[in-house]
Amino acid sequence: MPHRTMKSLLVGLGLLIALPSSAHAIAFSAPCEAPYVFSNAAVNVVVLPYSQPAAFKETLTKSGEQLAALVQLESMLAIAKYGSIGLVQLVGDPREGCTPDEVLPKLLGQKDGAMEALRPGGGLVLVWGRIYESGADLFVQSFIRFVRRGVNETIDIPVANRTLRGQLTSQAFACTPRRIAVRDLEDVQKQYASARLLHAQPDLSSAAVKLPEGAGPFSFFITDVRGDWVQLEPIARSPGRNDRFQRGWLQARTPAADWSLRRQLPELAFVEAAVGYLAARVPRDASAQQRNGALTSATAALSEYLGRWRENAILDTDPSAPTGTAFALAVPRQLGGFIRLLKDGVTDASLESAQADFQRAAMQAPHSAEARALTALAGFALSYRRARADQSPRPFLGDLQIALGADPGNKILIANVVAAYDLMLTPPTGMPANWSVTGAERQELTRQRDALKPLAGS
């Protein structure tokens, strides 16, 4: 169906609504060919179906879609605390274009076809994956991308009268593949069935209405969260599908003692962290305390992910061997450094902690010039601020130059090198004597700086 026709139809049905910016909303079974987000929400999580082999076990043919639905619900429980969030489960066949390649440009407004695109500056976490089968074994691999529309994730580090700007290595990565049992997918099925029931009370014995399969979207406000239960209020009361539902309670996950998706997929903790990070950075009406709270929760979720990422993972028996999914460790560590600097401000302690994270990330992704530059920037800023004779910023300037040699078109990196030259040429009063540059060095630094300046980004 053409985009505009579909949009008109949905507007007619009252499905496109203006969501209050502080509200939570969730949509089930939204068709992938016309994806949407809740554009008034600060951050949206959109989950695509996990693709699976065409010749999958007959009883498990819906596993990919059901797993995605549970990822959505699990995320809902984890991120409701951030305020102003939207969650959308897309349904469709990955072999027929229900893929991030098709969906993301629409949601970012770069391509026609979204029912409702992200507003500029709005945050989005996209989750998708693969399930594959081998004999009696099943493996699942998730992929995550986090973005703000029109914004590259960077962190500003003020140093004296200049600002250095750090970049992430990537805003998307593949998680490590994990082994799951067929029984786990059967649990997914059971939990999915239970999570499609809208109860009158947050109690399994209360009366329930079943959400239909397919032919969505079914959109709801999230009006309350109590433990594993969420209260949903239908968004559209137009003639049609959603009228069949009253406000009701949905059990988003079975109690912790039973099977837990979060235990199976530690990367869901990263999703929680990424949403918290974005929620703190998206421009909106939120207090400093709320933003700080989001960053605190994000830090805890990141720690959980980095502490548990090995669980069920298929890894080399040699623990020192590379993991094959280097970005799945490097990017979260860099994000951890960003969060620390945002939350605590740029202090010696926060820089030291962030530098340690950046350094580990650079070891995990040695091919990333951004990772090397991030470590060098933090080191440069820290040594410049401390102004100690035994800790010259000079080696960090050298590292920045090496990073630039490996990514010579990176305008942000060029601007950083220019700023570092400036700082070396105009040292603070009372700087250690061994920091001073000779006349010849000064001349060379000035020449390099002046040549680079016109190439730098703003």
Partner 1 sequence: MKTLALLACCLLLFAHTLEAQIAPCSGVQDPGTKILLDEIVASTPGAANLLQPLASRLDAGLLQVQTELGLDLNLKVLPCANRKPTGPADFTRSVVDQLNVRNVVMEVWGVTTEVKDAQGRAVQEASVGYVLVPVRLNELQSQRPPGAFVIPYRARPSDPAADLLRLVDQSGRLAAYATLASGTRALRAAQDAAAGRRPRNIAEDEWAFARKRLCAAHALFTSLKPPPAASDMQLVDYARTLAAQTITGAKADQRYSGSLKLQPENLPCPTGR
Site mask for partner 1 (CB under 8 A), range 237-276, x = bound: ----------------------------------------
Evaluated on CA atoms 342, 346, 347, 353, the torsion sign reads positive
Instruction: For residue 325, give Cα distances in angstroms to 141, 174, 335, 423.
Output: 11, 6, 16, 37
Cβ of residue 415: shortest distance to partner 1, in angstroms?
11
Which span sits near partner 1 by CB under 8 A: 346-354, 377-385, 406-414, 425-433? 406-414
Q: How far is the CB of 229 from partner 1 (least distance, A)?
A: 34
Residues 347-366 that bind partner 1 (CB under 8 A): 366
Which two structure tokens, joined as six digits, stand for 416?
A: 């950083």
**Residue list 102-131, contact with partner 1 (CB under 8 A):** 130
| Of the residues 215, 442, 451, 457, which one makes contact with partner 1 according to CB under 8 A | 451
- Rounded to whole angstroms, the Cα distance separating 89 from 37 reads 10
368 interacts with partner 1 by CB under 8 A: yes
**Does residue number 422 form part of the binding site for partner 1 (CB under 8 A)?**
no
205 CB burial (10 A radius; 0-12, 13-18, 19+): exposed
216 binds partner 1 (CB under 8 A): no
Scanning 84-92, 271-279, 281-289, 367-375 for contacts with partner 1 by CB under 8 A, the matching segment is 367-375
369 binds partner 1 per the rule CB under 8 A = yes
Contacts with partner 1, 161-200, as mask; x by CB under 8 A: ---------x-xxx--x-x---------------------
Cβ 43 to partner 1 shortest distance, Å: 20
Binding segment (CB under 8 A) for partner 1, from list 38-46, 225-233, 260-268, 324-332: 324-332
Query: Which of residues 58 and 285 has its CB atom nearest to partner 1 in the complex?
Result: 58
Residue 134 contacts partner 1 per CB under 8 A? yes
Contact 175, 139 (CB under 8 A): no
For the bound state, the minimum distance from the C-beta of residue 401 to partner 1, rounded and expressed in Å, comes to 8
Paired with 226 in beta bridges are 229
| Pick 80 or 172: Cβ nearer partner 1 | 172
**Which token pair is 391?**
């800790």
The token duo for 238 is 């137009």
> Would you count residue 97 as binding partner 1 (CB under 8 A)?
no
Q: Which long-range contacts (CB under 8 A, 24 or more apart) does 160-165 make?
A: 160/384, 160/423, 160/426, 160/428, 162/419, 162/422, 162/423, 163/419, 164/377, 164/380, 164/381, 164/416, 164/419, 164/420, 165/377, 165/412, 165/415, 165/416
Which residue from 193, 388, 455, 457 is in contact with partner 1, where contact means CB under 8 A? Answer: 455
Q: Does 135 bind partner 1 (CB under 8 A)?
A: yes
C-alpha closest to that of 233 among 40, 17, 37: 17
Residue 101 vs 390, nearer CB to partner 1: 101
> Using the rule CB under 8 A, is 404 a contact of partner 1?
yes
Residue 280 Cβ, how far from partner 1 at the closest point, in Å?
A: 24
Tokens of 97: 């274009």
Q: What is the 3-state secondary structure (H, E, C) of 16-27?
A: CCCCCCCCEEEE
Does 314 engage in binding with partner 1 (CB under 8 A)?
Answer: yes
CA distances from 38 to 151, 356, 370, 416 (A): 19, 37, 32, 37
Q: In the complex, what is the shortest distance from the CB of residue 338 to partner 1, in angstroms, rounded to a whole number?
A: 19
Residue 403 Cβ, how far from partner 1 at the closest point, in Å? Answer: 7
How many residues are recorded in the chain? 458
For helices 369-386 and 394-406, what crossing angle results, to 10°? 160
* x-or-dash string of contact with partner 1, 24-63, rule CB under 8 A: -----------------------------x----------
The C-alpha atoms of residue 284 and residue 287 are separated, in whole angstroms, by: 9
3-state secondary structure of 361: helix
Question: Which one of the spans 182-190, 343-351, 397-405, 433-441 is the region binding partner 1 (CB under 8 A)?
Answer: 397-405
Residue 9 C-alpha from the chain's centroid: 32
Query: Which residue in 73, 301, 326, 397 binds partner 1 (CB under 8 A)?
Result: 326
- Please give the backbone phi and psi of residue 23, each rounded to the nearest 5 degrees, phi first: -85, 165
- Count of residues in contact with partner 1, rule CB under 8 A: 50
Which is it for strands 85-91 and 229-234: parallel, antiparallel or unpaired?
Answer: unpaired
321 in contact with partner 1 (CB under 8 A): yes
CA separation for the pair 62, 196 (Å, rounded)? 14
Question: What Å distances lie between residue 423 and 160, 162, 291, 383, CA to CA?
Answer: 8, 8, 32, 12
- Mapped onto helix, strand or coil, the DSSP state of residue 137 is strand
Q: Which is nearer to partner 1, 205 or 317 (CB)?
A: 317
Distance CA 322, CA 307 (A): 17
Give the binding site for partner 1 (CB under 8 A).
Answer: 53, 100-101, 130, 132-135, 137, 139, 141, 143, 145, 170, 172-174, 177, 179, 314-318, 321-327, 366-369, 372, 402-410, 414, 448, 451-452, 455
